Amino acid sequence: MKTILVTGATGQIGSELTPALRKRYGNNSVIAAGHRKQPDAELTNTGPYCRLDIEDVAALARIVEYYRIDTIIHLASLLSAVAETDPQRAWSVNINGLFNVLETARKHECSVFFPSSIGAFGPQTPAFDTPQDTIQRPDTLYGIGKVSGELLCDYYHKRYGLDTRGLRFPGLISYKTPPGGGTTDYAVEIFYAAVRRQHYTCYLKPDTQLDMMYMPDAIDAILQLMTADAERLTHRNAFNVTAMSFSPEQLAAQIRQHIPNFKMSYKVDPLRQAIADSWPRHMDDSAARQEWGWQARYDLATLVEDMLEHIAE
């Protein structure tokens, strides 16, 4: 990785990954791209920023050529719940967008990172200790896009020798940029509600257990995988990675350790509940541990402590 393009740089992951990459590889070696006209000053003040619609392959190619990009970290995507409200647009952004990235990478010999998700699994997948290699029959457009993406990345590696790599992320929790339109967003919203109002109304049932991860671990996972020895990677494009697994009631109980008056009520959203019910409760991430040394630093207790500290600030 020398000159890196980050698509979706203004999003939940991109807004934290871009500064981390700039710190490591130099400000002018990391090009941020996003659809926002006016992104956060931090992105534009510390290095190049390009406005990019990922469906516009010619514009993408121009950026890759102009900056002589050798690695594309492709984060631009619609999250699960919002994808269900507009499946046609979700196909275009999530699948055509990735296809544009892979084709541009093929022509310019770039490496590619693609984030898959727990959404790549479906109702027939074993929900506990979900194996690395298992049945994947998701019934959401988001999940269909993620499985297709995993397969496409494998194909471009096998067929064209492209260095494609990827992770299946669980729900990601962070305080810098809100996720927006995901099924696991409650685990971010709850912290703001707890600090501001000591009350949160959760749209998932109290016992809906899902895999989760704190953003610093997600950033480390991307950096570690992208710099891992290629010869050790058998599962290039879809490593299960997780850090913890909890339900809304367990998260609320942990928050109560710091904010004893915190109250949680429930008003279930059938769309997001159905999506959550089709996802794993806990993934087996031993392939990532074995092939490139994955290990999370944050568990539920340290995540809650750190989130509350930063949000209070």
Active site residue ranges: 142
- Does residue 117 belong to the site contacting ligand SER (CB under 6 A)? yes
Q: Report which of 196, 179, 187 is spatially closest to residue 254, judged by C-alpha positions.
A: 187
Q: Classify strands 210-214 and 244-246 as parallel, antiparallel or unpaired.
A: antiparallel
The residues in 131-170 that bind ligand SER, with binding defined as CB under 6 A, are 169
Cα dihedral sign, 134-135-139-142 = positive
User: Phi/psi class of residue 205: alpha, beta or left (left: φ > 0; alpha: ψ in -120 to 50)?
Assistant: beta
- Does residue 125 belong to the site contacting ligand SER (CB under 6 A)? no
- Does residue 240 belong to the site contacting ligand SER (CB under 6 A)? no
Range in contact with ligand SER (rule: CB under 6 A) among 180-188, 254-262, 282-290, 292-300: 180-188
| Residue type for position 12 | Q
The minimum distance between CB 33 and ligand SER, in angstroms, equals 21
Candidate list 183, 208, 237, 242; residue touching ligand SER; CB under 6 A: 183
SS3 helix, strand, coil % of the chain, rounded to 5? 45, 20, 35
DSSP letter at 96 equals I
Say how many residues touch ligand SER, by CB under 6 A: 10
Nearer to ligand SER, 4 or 212 (CB): 212
The residues in 20-59 that bind ligand SER, with binding defined as CB under 6 A, are none
Q: Report which of 49, 42, 156, 163 is spatially closest to residue 111, judged by C-alpha positions.
A: 163
Candidate list 8, 122, 182, 280; residue touching ligand SER; CB under 6 A: 182
The minimum distance between CB 185 and ligand SER, in angstroms, equals 6
Summarize as ranges the residues that interact with ligand SER (CB under 6 A). 79-80, 117-119, 169, 171, 182-184
